[in-house]
DNA sequence: GATTAAATGGGAATGATTGTCAATAAGCCT
DNA sequence: AGGCTTATTGACAATCATTCCCATTTAATC
């Protein structure tokens, strides 16, 4: 169905993502790609990020202002500890949390239980500024 | 500073919120209020919901589509177990989680630690449909 | 009732995201 | 290599929640 052609645009987007440590908005990714010489349509960036998210190649979070942000992600379920000042994002895993969340759902008669968790704060570097 | 006048618009919005059990978008609140006879501007609804959120009179969550949703809230910090089908929202508290989240932040050198957590699933009623 | 600043409303403006569709090009076949 | 098929692209229009603007209204005070 999805024959997944490897276009230069897709490569450029992946490259831009690889060069970034933390979450960036689609618009920022678009700007980054175009800075590198290529000229890629905004629609294309959105389409690819969405596809990559669905393929679980990138992580997506919705920021406090409702803007979606993306980042290449390691495999497996995890959460983030994000600095609200500089955007530094550290991956967090917590087996206990996973179990607890599922149990809460079950206790209330829910099925197909999923959860999202974001921890935020000010990182050490930003605090000393 | 904020003299907080008790306008009939604000009353109507509070009334609409009181009549709803679960999270509703600003647009839905607006529709609800206008159904009850009053004619209130959309800007006013947004302004008041934002103020009420800042005053911690209402809970706000950002849905998966980036739309903000509001609900009158009981006091204190808590999370929600939400049915993705019907919108049923159950308040959850978990001391262990709070402690864990804060500890994760501290372990990584963060300060001013906050967190958001949403658990979702299909509630019993929706499952049997 | 008069005064005054807070609050309203509605229409325009913003800004992210999605839709459209003709033009382009990746991968396959020979 | 050349041709074919169809996934993919890109420029622009369209959508939609939310915010902005500002003249008008009105709650609270005296």
Interface probe for B, chosen from A121, A123, A124, A125 (most Cβ of B below 10 Å), is A121
Pick the CATH number of A79-127 from 3.40.50.300, 3.10.310.10, 3.40.640.10, 3.30.1490.190: 3.30.1490.190
pLDDT tens-digit profile of A1-47? 446 788 999 999 999 999 988 889 999 999 999 887 778 999 999 99
Q: Write the residue in A92, A116, A122 that is nearest to B111 by C-beta.
A: A122
Q: What topology is assigned to B8-72 in CATH? A: Arc Repressor Mutant, subunit A (1.10.10)
In chain A, residues with a C-beta closer than 8 Å to the C-beta of B99 are none
User: CA of B51 and C1' of C14: distance in angstroms?
Assistant: 21
Q: Where in chain A is the domain with CATH 1.10.10.10?
A: 8-72
CA dihedral A15, A20, A26, A29 (to 10 degrees): -50
C-beta within 7 A of nucleic chain D, residues 62-121 of B: 67-68
Residue A83: predicted pLDDT: 87
State the helix-helix crossing angle for B42-54 and B26-35, rounded to 10 degrees.
Answer: 120
Q: Is the pLDDT of residue B87 over 60?
A: yes
Question: Residue B75 has what pLDDT?
Answer: 65
Model confidence at B116: pLDDT above 70: yes
Q: Which residue of B has its CA nearest to A117?
A: B117
Segments of chain A assigned to CATH 3.30.1490.190: 79-127
A128 compared with B17, residue with greater pLDDT: B17
pLDDT per residue over A62-77, tens digit each?
877 788 999 987 667 7
DSSP H helical ranges for chain B: 8-18, 26-35, 42-54, 95-107, 124-127
What residue is closest to D10 (Cα–C1')? A41
Taking the C1' atom of every nucleotide in all shown strands and the CA of B49, the nearest one is: D18
Q: Is the CB of A40 under 7 A from strand D?
A: yes
The predicted pLDDT at position A61 comes to: 84
Residues of chain A contacting B66 with CB distance shorter than 8 Å: 62, 66-68
Protein residue at shortest CA distance from C1' of C17 = A46
Query: For residue B63, which nucleotide's C1' is closest to its Cα?
Result: D17
Distance set, CA A82 to CA A18, A25, A114, B64, B71 (Å) = 18, 15, 21, 19, 26
Closest nucleotide to A10 by C1' from CA: D8
């Amino acid at each position: 169905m999805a024959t997944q052609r490897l276009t230069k645009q897709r490569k450029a987007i992946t490259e831009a993502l690889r060069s970034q440590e933390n979450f960036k908005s689609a618009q920022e990714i678009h700007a980054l790609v175009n800075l590198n010489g290529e000229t890629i349509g905004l629609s294309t960036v959105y389409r690819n990020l969405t596809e990559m998210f669905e393929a679980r190649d990138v992580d997506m979070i919705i920021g406090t202002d409702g803007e979606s942000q993306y980042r290449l992600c390691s495999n497996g379920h995890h959460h983030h500890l994000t600095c609200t000042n500089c955007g530094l994002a550290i991956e967090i895993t917590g087996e206990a949390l996973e179990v607890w969340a599922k149990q809460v759902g079950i206790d209330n008669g829910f099925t197909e239980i999923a959860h999202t968790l974001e921890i935020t704060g000010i990182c050490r570097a930003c605090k000393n500024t």
